[in-house]
Every structure is written in C-alpha cells, then in structure tokens.
A and B are shown apart, each in its own frame.
Chain A
C-alpha cells in the first residue's frame, strides 16, 4: 500500500543529511561543550557554528540566539520570562485567540497569577488586524505575542506592522515562528520582533531542540536555573547533536527555500482546488494567498473528522483534523471556532500539511481517494440526507 505523510505541520521526518551531520556528535565528539579539553571544545565550536547559521538565517546576531528544548519551551520562556522581568512596569499582555497552546496556556497560567491578558479576535481568514492590537494597548501593556503563521490554517500574520506598533509604544514584541522558520523568509529586523521562537522538528531537523531569539537589550528572566550555559539565560548541558542537526536543517532549508516554496505552493493549490472542485459542500479554511505554502485546511460538510482520518489512514494517507472528537477536551479546534466556523464544519475539517518529500503523485493519490471516503461517510450521515435530498 502507498504511504503518504501529509502531517508535516505536526512534525517532519529528519532529513538524512541532517542525521548524518548529527551522528559524529553522539559517538565521536561527545564532550560537554562547557569543558575546556579538546573533546569539549570541538563540541563547543559545533554549537557556535550552528548558532551562527541560525542567527544569519533570521538576520540576528549569534549572541541573540538561545538554544532551548523546542517551541514549547521557547514560548513559555518568552511569555513568563518577560512577564516576570517587567511586572513592575505593568501586568498586561496582548496575544491572539488563535495562538498555539504553548502560548495560550502560559497566558492562562499568568492570569491566575494576577496578570491580565487580552486575546485579540481574528477575521474569517484567521488574520489579526494590527489596529485591534493597537486599540488593546494600555499603560500597563508589557508584551505583545502574535504568531507568525498559524499551525492549523496556515494564515500568515502582518507581523511587521504589529511589530512597528509595539516598537513605537516601547512594548516587547514576541512571535511564535515555529511554523515559519525554514519555510518562508524571516528577518527579525523587517518583522520588528524582539523575541522569536522556533523549533527544529518542523523543518526536517531533530525533535527536542529549539531557539529563542532575544534582541540585544531585551530583559527576560531565565526559565531554567543551573549552570552557566547560554550566558546564564538557559541552564543545562547543551543538546549538541540536536543543535548541530538544527543548524544543518536551517542551512538546507535556506538553500532550498526558493524552489521549495514554488513547488509546495503549486502542490497546495492543486490539492485544495482539486478538493473544492470535485467534492461538493467543501470549504477552504484560512486565506487563499496569505498562507503557508505547505498548508491545506478544508472543511467537508456532513462528515466528522476522526472518521475521515481513520478512513484515509486505511488508504495510507496521514493527515489531521480539528474535530472535537479527536481532542482530549472534546472541544473543536479553538482556531476554527475563532474564524467563525459553525461547530459542524469544524467537525468536518481536515488539515493536509505538505513537506519536502511530498510529490505530485501524492497529491493525485489524495484527490483520487478522498471523494470515495467522503461519499462513504456521507451515506451514513443523518445530516447529509436532510440537507441535500
């Protein structure tokens, strides 16, 4: 059976070239980068090389990059680190309704500690209006955090504009760029961001490694206390193979970005246009063009997401859904609710996220298999009969 992985927004396969770059750092260059001997120093050079690669990819200076254990840690660090460092200046944070849980949960936590958080709504495409952010600013606002692109519907936010507003008011600005690093160009100067999170495993790098870009002069309390690593901003022995792999992944992504964007955008459009034109009562979630090149999110009326995922999995296709039935809270995706989808359409949502390995054949295969799956489930659906016959 064909096996087609279209869940790259959840995680990507590690590129073989990345893996090959990492291997020596498990078995040959295994020293602790903090050690003064040759074993340690060679490892230290490798992480500094990776830091340089990462910094230059986003227009930052190497000393502005902190290595972490992933996107979740970077986001937690950013939100809580700024909140605790600046609580004397104010207690108000602005974010959006469609952030990843790794932003929303730290915000909920801070609300219990007495901070106030404004959650900016989005329009039907999932776009944040910079004017809404500006209106939400108060005397006590210390941090604005808006994601660069959404992981479910792929909408790319006007980060540069929001950053400009924040900078004009002297408010720290953070962006969660976990879905964008290595996928679309990022320049922290053009985006006017002070703090940025990213993660290795979303761009064909290893899991368990991330970065936090912190602009020089930005004050943040460290999240991990311990050794002196990362200029005392993040303790713990470096994940050397992970950091080396992340560096390699970014290097490859940067080299290949132009043609990758072109290829994926074309496959993406073929996929969603194919679905919209062959299956009736379908709807594209997110924006048509202000959209990650690898993201397709469709709602298919009268069917439920989990049963579609299971059926597609039986045909070898891996994707995901925002259906309530697949979430541990039994609530539909907060992102799909925020763009105003009715509950039933959130139920019938499917996300296909393309990757480096995705081919035209894969997309053709999905377009061949999906209509049959939908017909089968609609024939069982009490909603379909009523609406349609």
Chain B
C-alpha cells in the first residue's frame, strides 16, 4: 500500500486544522470500520460556506481526506457542497489505496452531517424569528 504524493502532501501539511468559534454547522462522525473519529466545522454566510475546519483521529488517509474536504467546500453553496462525494475527495487527492476508501467515506459523512446540522439550525432560528 502506498499513498499518492498529494495524499502525503496533505498529510504533512494538513489545511484548516482546528475548530471554529460559533460554527454554523458541525458534523461529528465515528468510523464503524476501524474506529476513527472526525469532526467538521463550517461557517456559512448567505448560503455560501465561507470557512471550514476539522479535527481527526485516524490514519494518514483520514487526515488527508479531512484536509481536502475542508478545501473543497470553501466558497461552495450548500447545494454544491452536498454533491461532494467521497470519490470526489479521493480523486482530488490523486486516488486512495482501495483499503483506504472507507476513510474518505468518513469525510463525506462528516460533511453531510455538518450541512444537515446547518440546515436544522437555520430552520430553527427562522421559526424562532417567526414566532
């Protein structure tokens, strides 16, 4: 098993590590396959994701896919962000070894959860305002 140069580059210098203060959406997921954990935080302004950060407890591929997904979502609309699949993340990294594809699924799920969380929160605050 060998990682692509791009994976190693993101692993060596992961982008957007950390948490966001007052995030608009948070996605926390655990990986049933090998037991890893990822948290993704997003900031949304006018339907556009303006910032994203992550924390990950996992392998090289998990860290690299986390890093890549935060890069991919930035400046995307919620609708476009929802279309980002684990395959797209893996492709953006120049591919993953087959045994590591499940790590990119973790990144996709964290993103979906963060987006869901954002929509729940905005629906709540909208109904809150209406009341």
User: Do the two shown chains form a genuine complex with each other?
Assistant: yes
Interface on A for B, CB 8 Å cutoff?
Answer: 302-304, 306-307, 310, 314, 323-326, 328, 330, 332, 343-344, 347, 379-383, 385
Complex formed: what's the CA distance from A343 to B32 in Å? 12
In-complex Cβ contact of B35 among A328, A347, A381 (8 A): A347
Q: Is the CB of B17 within 8 A of A382?
A: no
- B126 within 8 A of partner (CB): no
Q: Is the CB of B56 within 8 A of A380?
A: yes
* A383-B58 contact in complex given A307-B11, A307-B63, C-beta closer than 8 Å: no
Complex formed: what's the CA distance from A382 to B54 in Å? 9
Complex formed: what's the CA distance from A325 to B37 in Å? 12
| Cβ of B49 to closest chain A Cβ, rounded Å | 20
- B34 within 8 A of partner (CB): yes
- B36 within 8 A of partner (CB): yes
Residue of B nearest to A325 (CB): B59
The digit string for B3-38, where 1 denotes a CB below 8 A from any CB of A, is 000001001101001010000000010000111111
Scan residues 44-79 of chain B and give those whose CB is less than 8 A from a CB of chain A: 54-60, 62-63
Q: Is the CB of B34 within 8 A of A380?
A: no
Q: Is the CB of A380 within 8 A of B60?
A: no
A-B contacts, 11 of them at CB < 8 A, read: A304-B62, A307-B58, A307-B62, A314-B12, A323-B59, A324-B35, A325-B36, A330-B34, A380-B63, A381-B56, A383-B37
Q: Is the CB of B36 within 8 A of A381?
A: no
For chain B, the bracket of interface size reads 20 to 34
* A382-B11 contact in complex given A304-B57, A304-B59, A310-B60, C-beta closer than 8 Å: no
Q: Is the CB of B12 within 8 A of A325?
A: no
Q: Is the CB of B38 within 8 A of A382?
A: yes
Interface majority SS (helix, strand, loop, mixed), chain A: helix
Complex formed: what's the CA distance from A347 to B34 in Å? 9
| Cβ of A260 to closest chain B Cβ, rounded Å | 34
Q: Which of B28, B62, B102 has the most CB of A within 10 A?
A: B62
Cβ of B131: which chain A residues have Cβ within 8 Å of it? none
Q: Is the CB of A303 within 8 A of B11?
A: no
Complex formed: what's the CA distance from A304 to B62 in Å? 10
Interface on B for A, CB 8 Å cutoff?
Answer: 8, 11-12, 14, 17, 19, 28, 33-39, 54-60, 62-63, 99, 102
Cβ of B11: which chain A residues have Cβ within 8 Å of it? 307, 310
Q: Is the CB of A382 within 8 A of B55?
A: yes
Cβ of A302: which chain B residues have Cβ within 8 Å of it? 57
Residue of B nearest to A309 (CB): B60
Q: Is the CB of A343 within 8 A of B55?
A: no
Q: Is the CB of B33 within 8 A of A330?
A: yes
Q: Is the CB of B14 within 8 A of A343?
A: no
* A381-B55 contact in complex given A307-B60, A310-B11, C-beta closer than 8 Å: yes
Q: Which of B11, B39, B56, B58 has the most CB of A within 10 A?
A: B58
Complex formed: what's the CA distance from A332 to B31 in Å? 14
Contacts A344-B57, A347-B36, A380-B63 known; list 8 others, CB within 8 Å.
A303-B57, A304-B57, A307-B58, A307-B62, A324-B34, A330-B33, A330-B99, A382-B56
Cβ of A328: which chain B residues have Cβ within 8 Å of it? 99
Q: Is the CB of A380 within 8 A of B17?
A: yes
Complex formed: what's the CA distance from A184 to B54 in Å? 48
Q: Is the CB of B35 within 8 A of A382?
A: no
Cβ of A330: which chain B residues have Cβ within 8 Å of it? 33-34, 99, 102
Q: Is the CB of B55 within 8 A of A385?
A: yes
Residue of B nearest to A321 (CB): B59
Q: Is the CB of B57 within 8 A of A382?
A: yes
* A381-B57 contact in complex given A325-B36, A328-B99, A330-B33, C-beta closer than 8 Å: yes
Complex formed: what's the CA distance from A304 to B35 in Å? 10
| Cβ of B80 to closest chain A Cβ, rounded Å | 26
Q: Is the CB of B35 within 8 A of A344?
A: yes
Complex formed: what's the CA distance from A385 to B17 in Å? 13
* A380-B59 contact in complex given A328-B99, A330-B33, C-beta closer than 8 Å: no
Q: Is the CB of B35 within 8 A of A379?
A: no
Cβ of B54: which chain A residues have Cβ within 8 Å of it? 380
